[in-house]
Amino acid sequence: MFVSLLDRVRAAAAGPQVPLGGVAAVGGFDHVEMPPRGDAPGRRLTKREFEALPLPERISLLVQGTLRFYRGEREIAASEAMKAAY
Measured over the CA atoms of residue 66, residue 85, residue 80 and residue 21, the dihedral's sign is: positive
Domain ranges of the chain: 5-85
What φ, ψ does residue 37 adopt, rounded to 5°?
Answer: -130, 120
Residue type, 79: S
Share of the chain above pLDDT 70, in %: 67
What pLDDT is recorded for position 74? 92
**Average pLDDT value for the chain:** 79
Helices (H), ranges, the chain: 5-14, 47-52, 55-64, 78-85
Inform me whether the pLDDT recorded for 32 exceeds 90.
yes
Residue type, position 14, single letter: A
> How far, rounded to the nearest angstrom, does the alpha carbon of residue 79 sit from its chain's CA centroid?
9
When comparing pLDDT for 64 and 8, which is higher? Answer: 64
Q: What is the pLDDT of residues 46-78, one digit of tens each?
A: 999 999 999 999 999 899 888 999 998 999 988
Check: CB of residue 18 under 8 Å from CB of residue 72.
no
